[in-house]
Amino acid sequence: MHDASAFTAVLFGLRGCLVQAASGNPLPAPGALEVLASLRRQQVPCIWLDDLNSAQSQRLAGVLPDWLPGQRVNGVRWPAPNACWQALMALASDRLDGCVLVSGEPALLQSGLNAGLWTIGLAACSPSCDLGSQQWQAMSPQEQELARGKATLELFRLGVHSVIDHLEALDTCLLDIAQRRRKGEKP
């Protein structure tokens, strides 16, 4: 577990918290519910962000806990920082220091970088690794690993601070960021 006082808020890209079931319905991504519950127990405010229309966002978010608020892009689109700042205002966050954005969406991650947030890229949730697509399912394990590696490099090239495959690795990544912050590093 990370030190809850090390983090002011965690913003999640909505689609990074979900996977598509064979039926086409959304399901929580592996580890998503556990990560959210852990952050809630530690009293770290969380919110999801998305740029879909209201009906799509609500349908997708319906598989996440009721207590988790959401924020749709309102006005200026990503990669402008506005959506991140609006989400932090909705959480009544009093400072940027210690705020983290977790997503596989490059434009949202760029928005987080532009807003001055720590950013964590989700390689397996990036556009090049659409886990629910038929194309992904048709790939061999080696081809899938190559695609995840390519996504990881693309996210680092974007400038994100850390990259993980899935939310299951988020706690370790947050520990790393907390350590970097203690050493005085800034996003």
Per-residue burial over 83-103, b if 16 or more Cβ lie within 10 Å, else e, is bbbbbbeebebeebebbbbbb
Q: The whole model's pTM is what?
A: 0.93
Q: Tokens standing for 46?
A: 């969380």
Looking at 3.40.50.720, 3.40.50.1000, 3.30.465.10, 3.90.550.10, the CATH number of the domain 4-182 comes to 3.40.50.1000
pLDDT, tens digit, for every residue of 6-19? 789 999 999 888 88
Single-letter code of the amino acid located at 54? S
pLDDT, tens digit, for every residue of 73-128? 877 889 999 999 999 999 999 889 999 999 999 999 999 999 999 999 999 888 77
d(CA 7, CA 177) in angstroms, rounded, equals 9
Return the closest-CA partner of residue 45 out of 118, 120, 99. 99
How far lies 13's CA from each of 5, 10, 50, 80, in Å? 22, 10, 6, 15
The structural domains of the chain, with segments of one domain joined by +, span 4-182
